[in-house]
Every structure is written in C-alpha cells, then in structure tokens.
Amino acid sequence: MPFDVLLALTVFAVIMAFTPGPNNILLTASGVNFGFTRTIPHLLGVDIGFVVLLAAFAAGLGVVFAAVPALQLALKVAGAAYMLYLAWKVGTAKLKEEATETPGRPMTFLQAVAFQWVNPKAVVAALSGIAVYMRPGHERYDFAIVLVVFAVATVLSTATWAGFGVALRRLLCEPRHARMFNIAMAILLAATVIPIVV
C-alpha cells in the first residue's frame, strides 16, 4: 500500500474511532458509572465486534450492501434516527440523585459485539474503509493493513473514552456538572448525524 494511501487510511480510522458516536458515548458513561475494570468486557466487545464487522464487509457483505442503494438509504435514516434518540436519552438521563431504581449493569462482551451490527457509525466506517482503501488486485494485502490500522485505532479509542469516563467520576458527583456533561454529550452525539444525512 502506498504511503499516502496508508496515511489517509490512518487519519480516517483515527477520526472514525475517536469522534463521538454511540460506542464512545456508552463507554464514557460506563466508565463514569462502573469504573474501568467493570467496563473491560464492554470495551473488548467493541474492539472485537468491530473487527468482525470489518472482516464481514471485506468477505463480501460490503459488496451486497453497496449494490443495494435502498440498504444504504435505510441505514442513513435508521442511523440518524437512532443517534438522535440516543442523544435525547443521554441529554435527559436522570442523575443518580433523581433515579429511583438501582443502576444497571455494564454492557456485556456479547452485547457490545452485537451492538456493532446496529451501530450506524461502525457500519459506515467499516463499509467506507473497505470500499475506499482496498485496491483491486491487492485485496488480501490491503485488507490485512486496513484491519490492523482500524484495530489499533479502535483499541486506543475505546480505552481512551472509557478512561475519560473514569476520570470524570469525581467531577460528576456534583449534580450540576453531571447535567452539563449529559447535555454536552447529547449535543456531540446529535452532531454526528450531520455527516450521515449530508
């Protein structure tokens, strides 16, 4: 793979991995609510689940998806609606003092793996990565590079976002700060809809 293509792939993977999206929002919330150790199964589920999704697209699922424009449109509409729903849920989430129920459990490994298949940002990242950065005649070699670059970016991103949540635990004990955090995360998540619909 030429250096300029590798550089573009790396920048794309880092941007897709680190920008706010459902995985990053959920990992941050899990870090805040459950700590890093209890978030590890969720974190690993995202990492491995995305690699499996990427491999499935490379194995041919991406061709089917790209050949049927209705599937792309359905993903855009469903993905935008889902992200706006998540943004609303995050922005209006009850604070610990307001909650009448005990906190839930962190997402499990298998739940996080399965979530990648309904996460529009993950699907778009995998489909775009395969479609743009795998050159005809170099599929096997390019796929190995795409897989490694995305895997490293995803591992670094999931650890960073979960760690960010853990770092915020003390700050978010103050109800006003927790409310501001929820609203800021909701705005960021809603903003991720713009590239999907444009």
Nearest in space to 176 (alpha carbons), one of 104, 97, 105: 97
Look at residue 119 and give its three-state secondary structure: coil
Is there a contact between 172 and 32 (Cβ–Cβ < 8 Å)?
Answer: yes
Q: What are the pLDDT digits (tens) for 151-167?
A: 999 999 999 999 999 98
CA-to-CA distance for 176 and 24, rounded, in angstroms?
Answer: 22
Torsion of Cα atoms, 88 then 127 then 156 then 138, to 10°: -170
| Greater pLDDT, 10 or 81 | 10
Identify the band that residue 19 occupies on the pLDDT scale cut at 50, 70 and 90. Answer: confident
Residue with tokens 């700050």: 171
Over residues 193-198, mean pLDDT:
67
Quick one: how far is CA 150 from the chain centroid?
A: 12
CA-to-CA distance for 65 and 106, rounded, in angstroms?
Answer: 32
Residue with tokens 């743009």: 132
Strand boundaries in the chain, DSSP class E: none
CA-to-CA distance for 56 and 50, rounded, in angstroms?
Answer: 10
Question: What letters, b where the CB count within 10 A reaches 16 and e where it falls short, cover 26-38?
Answer: bbbbbbbbbebee
Look at residue 139 and tell me whether its pLDDT is greater than 80.
no
Q: What are the pLDDT digits (tens) for 56-89?
A: 888 876 666 667 777 777 767 776 787 787 678 7
Q: What are the pLDDT digits (tens) for 45-58?
A: 999 999 999 998 88
Predicted confidence at residue 132, as pLDDT, reads 83
pTM for this prediction:
0.76
Is there a contact between 178 and 18 (Cβ–Cβ < 8 Å)?
Answer: no
